[in-house]
A = this chain, B = another copy of it.
């Protein structure tokens, strides 16, 4: 009775887990939240004030389908200021969250039955965006040997007759792994060679931390390829999750069809969010975003060292985003059981790897460092207690 694609759209285990965590809290239990994939900061003051001003100014109507020209120009300026790259604002499409951009990209590029390569583990919704348009996710297992990222070699090896594109992410969720510059170039060349497109998720851009070999800028500085679609968001670095605003940089020849799709499928992105987002680039707001980035870095270091002391293997010290992907294989239970017992018995909520794919997902869990240092310390203590009780230390 429901369309066949619904079989491929999975619920997130983390939703059940979050609901259970909230229930335990209502019952008076203290819970440490490592499961939440959202910054714990509310939106920075200058942006909130701009949102209130947009309301006072009556900016409550539909805007242009591809976003207000001021915002598209402001995003172009951001690329110029940050990475000295000149982008025609006409190629910048403002969307209803990165989710809206992914719907547009799949609608534009994916025919039924087309295959798209993506890493496993990876952002689980990408499989659903493809299922929406009846295309297929072709999961490419990646592990510590390839730094949890795709490379041109891996892609070429996994390429199938029906492969039409690659969905990449840098930094990635759930591992925080980043693509290296030379890999982006090689992947881009491979895709051009084979007539495929690349949809690259850069939504954690800006939330990157020193010391790694990943390419911290944007792939747009490396590849002017006419097959590259770069997706970004105001949700993460800019702290605007609930506002549902993102953007996509698309090749010039894609502008007319994307414009038609956006008119038809979305009418326009939220107006108040767009006017508020103009303030996300103010010096004051950017200083606040950078301050928060520093906080995330401190938390990352605290969590990595704490888990290391407990003997938990951090598969990869993340160079970006706010997640740690942790191998729990040594502890004798699968990730669902691990997460369930940790929550029920020790009040620590962690996301099982099974939310992100099937490759080694039973022996990995994701920690989000979207909670404060005191909570992180408390969580580490409780995990220490659990490991002791379970006989592992």
* Per-residue interface assignment for chain A, residues 223 to 254, with 1 indicating a CB less than 8 Å from any chain B CB and 0 otherwise: 00000000000000001111110000000001
Q: Known A134-B134, A265-B99; judge A2-B62 contact (CB<8 A).
A: no
Residues on B with C-beta less than 8 A from A42 are 58, 60-61
Residues on B with C-beta less than 8 A from A60 are 42-43, 48, 239-243
Count residues on chain A whose CB falls below 8 Å from chain B CBs.
68
How many Å lie between the Cα of A12 and that of B265 in the bound state?
12
Q: Is A266 an interface residue (CB 8 A)?
A: yes
Name the residue in A2, A259, A264, A271 with the highest tally of chain B Cβ atoms < 10 Å from its Cβ.
A264
Q: Known A99-B265, A124-B264, A273-B270; judge A111-B4 contact (CB<8 A).
A: yes
Interface residues of A in 78-124 (CB under 8 A from B): 96-97, 99, 103, 107-112, 114, 124
Residues on B with C-beta less than 8 A from A12 are 263
Binds B, one of A49-57, A285-293, A307-315, A316-324: A49-57
Residue of B nearest to A261 (CB): B9
Residues on B with C-beta less than 8 A from A99 are 265-267
Count the copies: 2
> Closest approach, in angstroms, between the C-beta of A3 and any C-beta of chain B?
5
- Choose one: B63, B125, B128, B260; the contact of A6 (CB below 8 Å): B260
Asked whether, in the complex, the Cβ of A129 is within 8 Å of the Cβ of B265, the reply is: yes
Interface of A toward B, CB cutoff 8 Å = 1-6, 9-12, 15, 38, 42-43, 48, 51-52, 55-56, 58-63, 65, 96-97, 99, 103, 107-112, 114, 124-125, 128-129, 132-134, 195, 239-244, 254, 256-257, 259-261, 263-273
Q: List 26 A-B contacts (CB under 8 A).
A: A1-B195, A2-B108, A3-B110, A3-B114, A9-B264, A11-B260, A11-B263, A38-B62, A42-B58, A42-B61, A43-B60, A59-B242, A63-B242, A97-B267, A99-B267, A107-B132, A124-B264, A125-B263, A133-B133, A133-B134, A134-B134, A242-B268, A242-B272, A244-B269, A270-B270, A270-B273
